[in-house]
Amino acid sequence: MDWFMHHPVLLGLVGAGIAVGYGLYLTWWLLRQPAGNEKMREISRAVQEGAAAYLKKQYTAIAVVAIVPFILIGVYNKLGWGTAFGFLIGASLSAAAGFIGMNVAVRSNSRTASVSRLPWPHTITAVSTIRSSPSNPNDAVDGATYESMRGMVYAWIGDRDAAMAELEKMVKLPRGPHWGELRYSPLWDDLRSDSRFDPVMTRAGSHRGDAG
């Protein structure tokens, strides 16, 4: 126990290294899955372009805002420029995590749809991986994406109660699905006959102000 008390930085770095290694493994495994037919790949490319434009705009604004605390920390004599650059490194790594997470997430949708067309053993393996993956609906960057994927998987395997529970959480998120997506996207076809779907879709429109 004393060793852990005297080596907190090393312990943190080892834990972070394990987490990064596991994330790289999951990314490698995901990108090895089939990306689907041409239509699936076309939709996936459109989603990727939209996500890239969103990230560019968001991170540009964040970078401008981050200049102020960076300078204030640097000129404050009790903190100094060493702390300021530490802040800059942390902010950069946080941005990188969001960028990587978004890019992996938007590539997973077509692969999830594609693997559902494979023989059941392959489908069960992929679905089990997604169902067991932790998600954080409070994550402003990736929370809605993860919840959306989990909801779609639950719908595709026939677990409507779990799918509707995920959908209920998704529509409350700032970047959750909008009314038009729920109304017209074929990804939600399996839930449209459920009596709970229309009220949730209406709440999505009310929350985002886009109900037709």
Q: What is the structure's pLDDT at 193? A: 84
| Cα(166)–Cα(107) distance, integer angstroms | 20
Average pLDDT value for residue range 71-77 = 87
Of the candidates 95, 113, 107, which has an alpha carbon nearest to the alpha carbon of residue 49? Answer: 107
Please state, rounded to an integer, the average pLDDT across all residues of the chain.
75
- DSSP letters of 40-75? HHHHHHHHHHHHHHHHHHHHHHHHHHHHHHHHHHHH
Domains of the chain: which residue ranges?
38-107, 116-212
* Neighbouring residues of 196: CB distance < 8 A, sequence distance ≥ 6: 164
* Owner of token pair 């932790």: 134
Residues found in the chain: 212
Average pLDDT value for residue range 66-95 = 87
The percent of residues above 90 in pLDDT, for the chain, comes to 1
Q: What is the structure's pLDDT at 126? A: 55
Q: How many CB atoms lie within 10 A of CB 104?
A: 16
Q: What is the structure's pLDDT at 18? A: 92
Instruction: Evaluate if residue 207 carries a pLDDT over 70.
Output: no
Of the candidates 120, 132, 106, 102, which has an alpha carbon nearest to the alpha carbon of residue 156? Answer: 120
Average pLDDT value for residue range 204-209 = 60
DSSP annotation of 34 reads: -
Pairs from 125-132 (Cβ < 8 Å, separation ≥ 24): 126/33, 127/153, 127/156, 127/157, 129/26, 129/29
- Least confident range from 130-134, 160-164, 195-199: namely 130-134
Average pLDDT value for residue range 127-150 = 56
> 97 versus 156: which is more confidently predicted?
97
The percent of residues above 70 in pLDDT, for the chain, comes to 75
